[in-house]
Structure 1
Amino acid sequence: MQISFVRATLLGILVSASSLAVLAHGLFGAGSVVTGLLLACPVTLLVALGEWRVVSFNLCDGLFVAFVASVGVSLLVNGHGSDLKELALLVITLGGYLAGRLCGAREIRRGLMMIGSAVMATGALATLIALVEQWSAPHGKPLVFGQFDAAPAQFAMLMGLCLLAWLTSLSRASGVIVLGLLAMVPAAIFAASMVRFSFVALALAMLVAAVLGPRVQSRKVIAAVAALALFAIVGALALRSQTTRIFVDHAFNAAAGAWSIACDAVDRDNSIAIRGQIYRDALRLLPAAGPFGIGLDGFEARGCIKGIGVHNAFLQVALEFGWLAGFALLALVISAWRAVRELAPIAPEYRFVAAALVYVAMVSLMHGRISRELVLFLLLGYASRLWSEGREVAAKLLLRIAGGGGEQVPPSRRARHWRRRLASCG
């Protein structure tokens, strides 16, 4: 139990590392060394303290090995560029798969509930202070600690993971409703800070959790939480109506000129227009990327907006590491999600990973950078661990269902589906 608590704490720190780095930089003047330690130390300790005895090779592991091999060949062919920091971050990110693969049951959820929730609440407070001070600032997004405009999005992403961890852990409807009421506060703060896509991804992840939930009642409870969060978001946007209108205009302007605006005419204050241009450039370069790509961060020098990455982890991998790596990563994500989807209706741990994978993968489509996708690889590794334990878990849960205990599934599905699942999983 003690080692499990240590691993849960380390996982909480690891998942919260980006938010912790912002707080450390803003409150204590920490530098990049602290950021590196927040990432490297937990990964190293989790691998060292991991449950090696339970490892059994499966399809997810094979796809991960194929992905790493493709990345390695690409780096040999194209070089790693001049920024060794990005290469180091990539190595740590890939180590996240091992950390997730070797962690124990419920430890990621426990880490999010213990450490992640506290870090997120602190981040929400820091964002609120910046928001009040910069309420009418033309930039729109508050600069947390006067310098980090991406901090609200990082805190909001952590909020989504924490919310999913709590939702799949609480069994009483009253507890979930209280959670929804508490979540209204940070949701309103981050919405007023013009965080957008994280909420879209969270809504989809909550829908997945509801659909995979075992009871109609649980789906209604999740719907109630979503309604509370939506009320908070709409209210926050209404309070900053002038800034909200500016961002809505940006969205319409970007959509109107999606394929016709020249690069030099892109509005540099419109993040949607910038992303549109980035994606056009990336898709233009993709056919010539070949099997091993154009090299790590090679897009930043080839896109028309210099120094800006693809902002889409999957597209970046296919472009910079090649088609083989892109296919391996996409296949790994799909296989990992399918690995946990089958048991999700009766196993909260599987349901959490299924919803969290959807959430993190969606965010990676808009804000992703492969060297910073540690949480994605952590979840992929953990999904592989759960897949390997599928037969044992299915057997235990089937016995509980047959005996009338545990989470129930609809009678029409229970006899056929779970006997078939028990025979096929593992």
Structure 2
Amino acid sequence: MFDNLSDRLEGAFKTFTGDNKITEINVATSLKEIRRALVAADVNYKIAKEFTDKVKEKALGSKNVLKAVKPGQMMVKIVQDELTELMGGQSVGINVKGAPAVVLIAGLQGSGKTTFTGKLALHLKEKRKMKVLVTACDVYRPAAIDQLTVLSEQVGAGIYKEPENKNPVEIALNAIAHAQDNKYDVVIVDTAGRLSVDEAMMQEIADVRDAISPNETLFVVDSMTGQDAVNTAKVFNDRLNFDGVVLTKLDGDTRGGAALSVKYTVDKPIKFVSTGEKMEQLDVFHPDRMSQRILGMGDIISFVERAQDQFDEDEAKRLEKRIKKNKFDFNDFLGQLNQLKKMGDIKSLLNMIPGMKKAMGDIEIDNSAFSRVEAIIQSMTPTERAQPELMSMSRKKRIARGCGQTIDDVNRFIKQFDQMRKMMHKMSNNPAMMGMGGGGGMMGKGRRR
């Protein structure tokens, strides 16, 4: 996400290396590269030009102040502030006040509306403690109702569907009545994907909106489509006057144009970003945090929030006792691994830590390392998982055959696990050792691009 843009912006700031002040010359050189970086990221040229004009005005206006600040640092701060403003300035929440509140989901075919519906249901259920009903109003796509049914069961939400009814307005109204009767807090209406040029389909969703008067109408955008997504958002907004935008597939090979341009184009906030297929992978959009990520500063606040979402206080106390007694076993490790996986893609997590992206260099890390470790542990017997000290060579050979890996892979993992276990035991009984590190490499070796 934004890797190419981040690298090109970093290169633009190198213009100031060695300079002790901001001048029209170094500002112009830097802004030329910034503008090229934005256009390469699929940002409309007019928007890129206006952006760099604002940066230039602020940069030249600050050249005689804060002399203790290096020019490059000043330029980074100005660009960060302008990126934040371009993407909306501040986070805007979702309006779910009502009895029940109604959220209408709209978007193009294949943009990820149904998956987002499931994610939003889980978000409202877990974060806002709301009783959620999802409504299947996609009466055209084969298996759309089945997909939403599976997702609703997965996230623990109710579902309203009428498989034989082909009138989405009637289905939506009946769903709201059902929600009122059964005391649901919010109804999420998933609609059929449509093309902006399809007048009949556009009229249909306009009719649904007029009939149910939703608290929120959210437009779901596939961020991998770049500027095309922004243009489509404008067409939909002219017709529906939606309340906010959702960017999906932001973990894919996206250049970032949609995230950087959509607020400017339709003057509606980005409210959520989706970064994977897992139901937990939905984040409230924070423009300031996103600008920090783009500029390679990390996003430690989001990292901590994700960790807290997976934190189980009772489980943590149980593990603390086991670690102090040196009883931490493979079952415990597997449980922690599963919690880490729920936080999201390992590469995106590492990029949230300030300085980690640069420190990792060209080392490519992916989630396949999790699978290798899981396979080794799952090839063990229950007794072996509970008693790591039983690992003999014959057991290791059997485990290697069972998981399809080499004996060296199994030996390496068990050795690293043993080192980590000992270090955790020492640290738990000697708080002064905290921060000394140890036990690295559990996920296997990274690979060079």
Q: What TM-score results when the alignment is normalised by the length of structure 2?
A: 0.27
Structure 1 or 2: larger helix share? 1
Larger radius of gyration between Structure 1 and Structure 2: 2
Structure 1 or 2: larger strand share? 2
Greater relative contact order structure (CA < 8 Å, 6+ sep): 1
Q: What TM-score results when the alignment is normalised by the length of structure 1?
A: 0.28
